[in-house]
Amino acid sequence: MDVQSADGKSRLARIPGRLRRRMGRIKMGDLLIISPWDVKDEKADIVYRYRRFQTRLLIRKNLLPSRIDTLV
């Protein structure tokens, strides 16, 4: 899937096999933590997913940088 990262790049991301069952379905608006590949910078692995209500909670507590607040 295509993800938009905080540095402004669009990357092709995948869910690694060990996290596939735990992660469930990823929807539009979910905040993702990704890890770019060392070999190819345009690809990444998804490390963690925050759902919409978790993202709103992080925004209310001012735990997200302002540049990410505007994207969500």
pLDDT digits (tens, 9 = 90+) for 4-32: 887 788 889 888 776 666 667 777 778 88
Q: How many residues does the chain have?
A: 72
Please determine, for residue 71, whether its predicted confidence score (pLDDT) is greater than 70.
no
Over its C-alpha atoms, the chain yields an Rg (Å, rounded) of: 12
Return phi, psi of residue 46, to 5°: -85, 125
Q: Convert the pLDDT of each residue in 31-43 to its tens digit.
A: 888 888 888 778 9
CATH of 2-69, one of 3.20.10.10, 2.40.50.140, 1.10.4160.10, 3.30.300.30: 2.40.50.140
Measure CA 34 to chain center. Answer: 5
Q: Grade residue 65 by pLDDT with cuts at 50, 70 and 90.
A: confident
List of residues 6+ apart from 50 with CB closer than 8 A: 30, 31, 32, 33, 58
pLDDT score at 70: 56
Kindly state the DSSP code that residue 19 receives in the 8-state scheme.
Answer: G
